[in-house]
Amino acid sequence: MNPILFHVQSLFGSGHLNRICRIADFLSSRGYGVVLLSGGIGKPALSDHGAHSVALPGIRSDATFRNLFDENDNPVTPALFDERASLIHQTIRKYRPSMVITEGFPFARRRFAQEIMTLIREAGAAKGRPVPIVCSVRDVIQPKSGPDREQEILDIIGEHYDWILIHGDQDFLPFETTFRKFSHVRDKAVYTGYLDVSCERESPGNVQRSDTVTVSADSGIVGRTLYLTAMEAARMTSGTRYRWRVLVGGAVAEEEFLNWKRSAPSNMIVERNRSDFREILSASMVSVSQCGYNTAVDLMSTRTPGIVVPYSGQGEVEQRTRASAMERSGHVRLIREDALTPGSLIRNIQMWRQDAAVPAAPASLAGNEKLLEFVRDRIGLTA
C-alpha cells in the first residue's frame, strides 16, 4: 500500500509539528506507511514505528507571523520556495501517496498556498487517479479577517478537498466558534475527538498525587513570563508543603536556563522538558501552563487540575477560546496574561487545593480511534 503523505509547516513554536508527529507515529504503529513533509525549523520527533520524515528547507516566522526567515535567520526568498517545490516533487514521485493530509491548510498557512496546491495536484498525477485530499485541523483556528478570506477558504475546500478532519469535540467546542461559515463545508467535516496518541492514558484513580505544582510551556518560546512568575511564587511559598517543578522548553537559551536553575529556591526543581511528562503531570497536585492544543489534551487525559495562562500576543485568540471552554467545564482555572502575578498564581493553586474533586475530562479523547477508522474507510486496511 502506498503511504499517507502529511504536509506540516510550523512557524512559531512546536505544537503543530508535535501533533502531526503523534498522528504519524500512531498510524505507522498500526501498519500504515507514513511520509512526513516538514517545512519548519524544528526536527520531527518520530518514534521507530517506521514513519519517514522529509525535511524541507526550513522556514520560520517571528512573533508577528508577518515575516518569514530561513534556517540562517535571513528573509525567505523565492529561490528557497523553488528548492522546497523541487523536493516536494521528488517526494511525490518516489512515494506516490495514497492520501494527502495537509496540516492546517487552507484554514491556515495561506502564505504556503502555492506550495500546497502544487503538492495536491502532483499527488493525483503521480498516482494516475484522484487521491483523497484531507485537511487536518485543530479544534480552534484564528478567526479570519473578513468574508473574502473566509470565501477563499470555502472555494479551496470546494474544489480540492474531500474531507476536513477536525480534531476536537463538537459538543465541547464547535468549530463554528472560530470559523463562522462552517455550515458551508459541514458535509465534508469529520469530528475525531481530541487526539491523544502519545501514550496510554493515565488512570487518575491509580495515581497518588503529590504536593507538586508542575509548570510547563511547551517549547518555551513565549513562556518566559510564566516561568519567572512561577519562580517568584515558589519563593513566596518557601517553608510550606508546596513543591514546584519547572520544565523549560528548548527555545530557552542554555545560559538563561542554567541561571534559572542556579537561582531557583530550595522548594523548586528547574529542568528541561522530559519524555516522561505525562507521568509527572499525572502525579502533580496542579499543572500551570499555557493552553495550546497538546497541553489541553495532556490535562484532559491525566485529569490533572489546571491553571492556564493562554497566550494572547499579536491578537491571538486560539488559546483563550480553548481555555474558556475548559474553564466553563470546570477543568481549569484561567488567569489572563495581564493578570498573572505570583499572588494570583498562588491564590488559584490554593483554590484548587481546597477542591478535592478530580476534574472529569470535558471532551472526547477518542481521536486516535476515530482517525484510524477514517483512514481504514477511505484507503482500506494495511497489508
In which domain, by residue range, is 213 found?
A: 204-354
CATH number for 227 = 3.40.50.2000
- Output the CA torsion 223→228→230→235 (10° steps): 170
Mean pLDDT on 303-313: 92
Residue type (1 letter), 29: S
156 in the same domain as 51: yes
- The secondary structure of residue 100, as a DSSP letter, is E
Other beta carbons less than 10 A from residue 312's beta carbon: 17
| Contact yes or no for 100/127 (Cβ under 8 A) | no
Domain-located, residue 337 = yes
pLDDT at 208: 64
Q: Are residues 173 and 219 in the same domain?
A: no
CB contact set of 200 (below 8 Å; sequence gap of 6+): none
The mean pLDDT of 272-279, rounded to a whole number, is 92
Of 278, 210, 214, 209, nearest in space to 246 by CA? 214
Q: Position 52: which residue type?
A: H
* Mean pLDDT, residues 36-48 taken together: 84
Backbone angles phi, psi at 382, to 5 degrees: -75, 160
In a domain, 249, yes or no: yes
DSSP class of 56: P
Q: For residues 181 and 148, what is the distance between their CA atoms, to the nearest angstrom?
A: 11
Same domain, 143 and 113: yes
Q: Classify residue 250: in a domain, yes or no.
A: yes
What pLDDT score does 302 carry?
Answer: 92
Judge whether residue 240 has pLDDT over 90. Answer: no
Query: Do residue 143 and residue 184 come from a single domain?
Result: yes
pLDDT of residue 382: 64
Would the pLDDT of 203 be above 70?
Answer: no
pLDDT of residue 383: 46
If asked whether residues 231 and 163 sit together in one domain, one would say: no
Higher pLDDT, 100 or 48: 100
Which alpha helices (DSSP H) does 190-292 contain, by range? 224-236, 254-263, 277-282
Q: What share of the chain has pLDDT > 70, as a percent?
A: 96
**Strand (E) or helix (H) holding 63:** none
223 and 187 inside one domain: no
What is the tens place of the pLDDT at every residue in 247-269?
Answer: 999 889 999 999 999 999 999 99
Burial of 70 (0-12, 13-18, 19+ CB in 10 A): middle
The span from the CA of 140 to the CA of 296, in Å, is: 12
How would you classify the pairing of strands 306-308 and 163-167?
unpaired
pLDDT of 293 reads 92
Average pLDDT over the chain, rounded to whole?
Answer: 90
Residue 360 domain flag: no
Is residue 255 domain-shared with residue 328, that is, in the same domain? yes
What pLDDT does 207 receive?
58
**Is the per-residue pLDDT at 371 higher than 80?**
yes
Question: Distance between CA 357 and CA 373 in Å, rounded?
Answer: 34
Predicted pLDDT at 232: 96
Averaged pLDDT, 46-63: 87
Q: How far apart are CA 302 and CA 295, in angstroms?
A: 11
Rg for the chain (alpha carbons), in Å? 21
Whether 153 is covered by a domain: the verdict is yes
Name the more confident of 286 and 144.
286
Pick from 108-122, 185-199, 262-276: least confident: 185-199
Query: Is 133's pLDDT higher than 80?
Result: yes
pLDDT band at 200, cuts 50/70/90? Answer: very low
How many domains are there within the chain? 2
Residue whose cell numbers read 475530562 = 361
Q: Which residues contact 246 (CB under 8 A, 6 or more apart)?
A: 215, 216, 227, 230, 231, 260, 264, 268, 269, 270, 271
pLDDT of 201 higher than 50: no
In this structure, are 38 and 184 located in the same domain? Answer: yes
The predicted pLDDT at position 237 comes to 93
Comparing C-alpha atoms, which of 361, 237, 211, 219 is closest to residue 277?
219
Residue 187 included in any domain: yes
Least confident of 11-25, 87-101, 203-217: 203-217
Please, are residues 134 and 163 in contact by the beta-carbon 8 Å criterion?
A: yes
Whether 22 and 154 map to the same domain: the answer is: yes
Domain identity same for 274 and 142: no
282 shares a domain with 152: no
Instruction: Indicate whether 195 and 212 sit together in one domain.
Output: no
**Is 359 domain-assigned?**
no
**pLDDT over 60 at 204, yes or no:** no
Q: What local confidence, expressed as pLDDT, does residue 198 receive? A: 57
Largest CA distance in the chain: 70
